[in-house]
Structure 1
Amino acid sequence: MTKRFTRTRALVTACLAVASAMGIGGCGQAEPEAAQTPTSEAPRGIPLDYTGFDPENFISDQVLDDSKTMTDAQIAAFIAEKGEGCHAGRANDQDIPCLKDFSVVTESYAGDEYCPWGYQGGEEESAAQIIGQAARSCGVNPQVLLVTLQKEQGLIYASGGDFQWFSYPSAMGYACPDNSTCDPDYAGFQRQVYYAARQFAIYRIKPERYRFQAGRRVEARYAPAQECTTTEITPANRATASMYNYTPYVPNRGALKGRGDDCSVYGNANVYAYMRAWFPQ
C-alpha cells in the first residue's frame, strides 16, 4: 500500500480534487517548510536544512524503534510549544481545533503481533495521549509520529487558515494511495496515528513483504508522475527502507537545494530535516 506524502503544488491540486469527490482524506503540503510564507495569525514554522541528507541512510533502526523517547506529558508539552499562538480554524462549516486543544473519544483495538498491547480507548483523549499510546503499543518512536503529522498535514505548526476539513481525518496520510482515494475505514485522527504506527511495526517484523529492504538495490522514482525519472538506491538499514515503503520517492537535487520542480517530493527529506531540527541526536 503506497502512502501519500508531501509533493508539488500541481500534484496536491489533483489530489484535492479526488479527495473532494470522495468526501474524505486529503493532501499534504506542496512545499517544504522553508518555502512557506507564514500568515499573520499562524505560529512560525522553521526553515528546513537538508544538508548531509543521504538518500540511502537518513534514519537509523535504533531511532525508529525507540518508543521511550517521550512521555505523554513531554509530547503534550512539545505540541503546545510548537503550536503556541495557534488559532482554531474553520472549514466546511466545521470548527477545526489546534492540535494542542484536540481531543476525541477513542476506540479500543485488540493487540496483535505488531502492536502487542493494542489500544485501550478512553473518553476525550488528547493528541498527545493518542500518539503516546500508539507509539508504546507498536514499538515506534513518538518523535517519528510527530514528524509525520507535520510533513503530512502540517498539524504541528498549523493555525487558522492552515486547517482544512481533511486535516485530522487524513492526519498521517495512511491508506491514501497515490492516484487513488483514501480508504474511509482509516479516517480519523486516532485511526491514522495508530495504524501508521502499526505499519512501521509491520515493516520491522515482516520486511520481506516489501519492495524496499535493507541492503537490496532497487529502482525508485523521484515522483509519481510518469514523466519523472528514476534512480537506484540501496537502503542501508531497515528504518530507511521503511520510510521508502511508506512513501516511495527519492527527493531530487532541486528539492534538497530548496528549488523544487514538478518532480520534487520532499517527504523523506523532511523526515531527516525535522528529526534533525526537533530531536537532534
Structure 2
Amino acid sequence: MAAETFDRKAEDVGNIVLLEHVNFRVPDQQLATAFYVTALGFTRDPYLMVGLDNMWINLGRSQFHLPTGAPNHSRGRVGCVVSDFDTLPDRLQAADKWLGGTRYTHKVEKNHADVTCPWGNRIRLHRAGSDFGFMTLGMPYVEFPVPTGHADGIARFYREVMAAPARLEQDNGSAVARVQVGPGQSLRFRETSDDIRPYDGYHIAVYVTDFGGSHAKLNERGIVSQESNPYQYRFQEIVDPDSGKLLYEIEHEVRSFTHPMYARPLVNRNPAQRQPTYQPGQDAFYPRY
C-alpha cells in the first residue's frame, strides 16, 4: 500500500508568529467604548491601560489599541471572527442610540457583517466556523489596498526580509499578496486602481522568532524607523527587496518572541450574558484560535 503523502508546508507558520494588535487613535473614549465593547461585543482589558487616555480591547488573543488623539483612518479593513453572530444584529442596532451622528454604519449578511466605526474605519465581522477554521473569536486578517503592480513585490519583501510565508493569489479579479503572520492570521495586500488614502500613522504589532535576523535585513535597507527597547523595534516602509523601491507604508511594531507580553492571556467576556437572563458560570468566554 502506497504511503499517504501530505503537503508539509501547509502547516508552516514562519517567522511571524502572532498578529497581536491594530492601533488606531480615537478622539473620544466614550464613543470608542460604545462601538468596540457595546456594539461589537469585545472586552476592555481590565488590567492594562485602564485610564481615560487609552483603551485596549481584547478579542481572542488579539487586541485593538485605542489611544486618545486625532483619529486615524484605515485604508483597508480589519477582519474579526465573533462567536455570537446570530445576536450581533440586535446589538449593532441598539448601539445606534449612542453612535448616531457619527460615521457608524452596519450591514449584516448571512455569514459576515460590515461595520464602520464612528470615525470611518471599516471592520468585517465573520461568523465563527464560516471561513477561519477553529477560530471562535479573534483577528484573522488585516487588509490593505495597494497600487496595481505592487502585490508581488510586497509578497517577496515578507518572504525575503521577514521570513514569513507569502504568496500572490487572485481573488475576485484582484491580485492579492497574502502574508502569514501567525496560526490562522494573515496580512492581505489587495491591488486596486482606486485612489488610496494617504497613510496617517496607524500601526500593527507582530511577534517574530528571528528578531535579530529580521532587524539585520531591515537595517541593511535603512528602513528601521525606531529602536524602541531590547524587545522591540519598528519599521514603516515596505520596499522591493531587490530595487529598494517603496511599495507601501504601514508601521510594524516588531516584538521578540521573548518579549514579556508575548502570548499574554487575555480576558474575554461572553457578550450574550445579560442581567435579566443571567446564567451562572457563563460570564467568561474561552475562545479557540
Q: Which has the higher strand share?
A: 2
TM-score (norm 2): 0.29
Bigger RCO of structures 1 and 2 (CA < 8 A, at least 6 apart): 1
Length-normalised TM-score, structure 1: 0.29
